[in-house]
Chains A and B, each alone.
Chain A
């Protein structure tokens, strides 16, 4: 049962992720954003299968909820008509395709020769376990992220405030 669910969610993630960047039917950015929601939802499903319930919930609340709403705001505020009509040069498409194909072939070659089973990390998805890890083992990176967020806030205010003086 779990295996079947894994394949369903994984396939959904891949298909929707592809449709975010390259939808053959429409170039509408709102459609892309909606497919991004679906991608994130199916990734949340994968997290549930890993018994990481907290991460799954955060994935839905933060990404599918807050971040996508922000994306949609930006899309609607900006006028993207020009972007929609723009044609990509053939050479760019071709070189991008070659790079993607090369990357895919290297990855497939790597997959064929998987190392022997290492002991995977113990699955503990409870909020308490995650909090313990964050505040004990990963305390230093966690606190550094707070400096990162402070910088990001200061930077965003500086770059986006209306009056420079």
Chain B
């Protein structure tokens, strides 16, 4: 059957998930957490296989619904790396689940499959189904520690707000279909301006923004972020921050840059407005935070703003900046959460004790966290600096064609400065806060040590020699015909 070979990576991921579910039956209870290594290994193999995929340009399958190009592959690799790191973190976290460890890995894999389908979605049907697959997986993953009230509360909040945004999304799709008569992005682009500019279609597009903005954590659809980030298990939070946001971004990028490219002047200003609001809100709310995970929630909102700003440029440069920024953001987030997962203090819900005096307990983790914070804050030579630089470059490169260029740049600079403060505050707590108790050194398993090395290496590599990834991003953007 045609198309089956194109979705090979996704089929492999789903098969791996089902295999983990089945292996669970024959695994002794004390070995169950090790299944996570098996899952991570499978994901690693699939990641390598993604480079071996025979590839001759852009290919479509399933009536143009599914498209495989370099852009899709870039995001598939992004999601695979994110899932690999998340699985390694969750092996460390596994003893905090009372049951269902193998299921946790399996559902993580199913979420990964949903994200990978999202990377290739070229049609509203596939967009909706893949986003719902990711959402359903996260409803479960967020409330996984059901013995903890906070986790359940986060699960309920995520479920209700997620269902509401899903309702808006499907309503928007219905309005667009009713106006345009097609669900396919490519066919949408070929329609005349009188259809694309019609108010009903723009209203539908606004509703689709609601659904995708919820995933990306854009203001005003961000209200769930701090609570869910705080309540969910640490690996879930990491996957939510990197993977789920990435899925929203890839869907939005594909929709705007293929389907609605002719009306870029209509959605550009809306995106810039939302981006400015998002950066301001996230930056200002992050300042008083004392809980590290809530801080990461607001940091995720600020970063969503920068991503949106790059997307709003509507140019190839803007899209390439988005891709690079996401890659840099991924390692920053993973660096933070791997430390958060390892450096715990038993019996305490609050995470303030995790950070205080971390450099006594584990210099490696303290260095990782510092590097991650430096990267997220956008200080050279870490990856985040170059990501922010690319975003600014895309905005300035557009010149007067960019909607509200002066305002957007001002807000972006303000956001960058404010985030400098709250990220470096974390570093200050790690090294200079007075701590008396719990100076037991932290034991790190071999696999996790490698994950930590990977994160450190990637942050430095992307920061010092960004050329390779930047070329990859530009290549991916060109594959979309920009």
Contacts and interface: CB of A to CB of B under 8 A. Distances in A.
A106 B7 CA distance: 40
Interface in A127-157: 137-141, 144-145, 147-148, 150-152, 154-155
A2 B99 CA distance: 56
B144 A158 contact: yes
Contacts of A144: 114, 117, 126, 129-130, 133
23 contacts: A106-B203, A107-B203, A109-B199, A110-B203, A113-B198, A114-B200, A115-B194, A115-B201, A116-B194, A118-B180, A138-B125, A140-B65, A140-B126, A141-B129, A144-B129, A147-B14, A147-B113, A154-B107, A154-B140, A155-B136, A158-B140, A158-B144, A159-B140
B8 interface: no
A158 B200 contact: no
B291 interface: no
A119 B180 CA distance: 9
Contacts, number: 97
B126 A165 contact: no
A1 interface: no
B268 interface: no
A144 B111 CA distance: 11
A120 interface: yes
Contacts of B129: 141, 144-145, 148
Interface in B13-45: 14, 18, 21
Interface string B198-216: 1111110000000000000
Nearest to A116: B194
B390 interface: no
A33 B133 CA distance: 27
Interface string A22-38: 00000000000000000
Given A141-B129, A151-B140, A164-B147, 19 more contacts: A114-B200, A115-B194, A118-B180, A118-B195, A119-B181, A120-B181, A140-B65, A140-B126, A144-B117, A144-B126, A147-B114, A148-B114, A150-B18, A151-B107, A151-B110, A154-B103, A155-B137, A155-B139, A158-B100
A124 to B, nearest CB: 15
Q: Is the interface of A mostly helix, strand, loop or mixed?
A: helix
B217 to A, nearest CB: 20
A107 B174 CA distance: 14
Interface string B130-160: 1011001101100110110000000100000
A77 B65 CA distance: 43
Interface string B80-104: 0000000000000000001110010
A121 B7 CA distance: 29
Given A138-B125, A145-B129, A164-B147, A152 B63 contact: no
Size category, A interface: 20 to 34
Contacts of A164: 98-99, 146-147
Contacts of B113: 147
B62 interface: yes
Contacts of A147: 14, 110, 113-114, 133
Interface of A: 106-107, 109-116, 118-121, 137-141, 144-145, 147-148, 150-152, 154-155, 158-159, 164-165
A12 to B, nearest CB: 20
B98 A151 contact: no
B199 A140 contact: no
Given A147-B133, A155-B139, A158-B103, A137 B63 contact: yes
B125 A159 contact: no
Contact of B146 (A112, A152, A159): A159
Nearest to B1: A139
Contacts of A148: 114, 129, 132-133, 136
Contacts of B133: 144, 147-148, 151
Contacts of B180: 118
A150 B136 CA distance: 10
Contacts of A158: 99-100, 103, 140, 144
A106 B202 CA distance: 11
B203 A140 contact: no
A148 to B, nearest CB: 5
Nearest to B141: A155
User: Considering residues A109, A112, A141, which has the most beta carbons from chain B within 10 angstroms of its beta carbon?
Assistant: A141
B179 interface: yes
A111 B136 CA distance: 33
Given A148-B136, A164-B147, A118 B181 contact: yes
Contacts of B202: 110
B199 A155 contact: no
4 pairs of A and B residues whose beta carbons are closest in the complex? A155-B140, A115-B198, A164-B98, A110-B199
B319 to A, nearest CB: 25
A103 B114 CA distance: 31
Contacts of A118: 179-181, 195
A120 B14 CA distance: 37
Contacts of B199: 109-110, 112-113
B111 to A, nearest CB: 8
A151 B137 contact: yes
Contacts of B132: 148
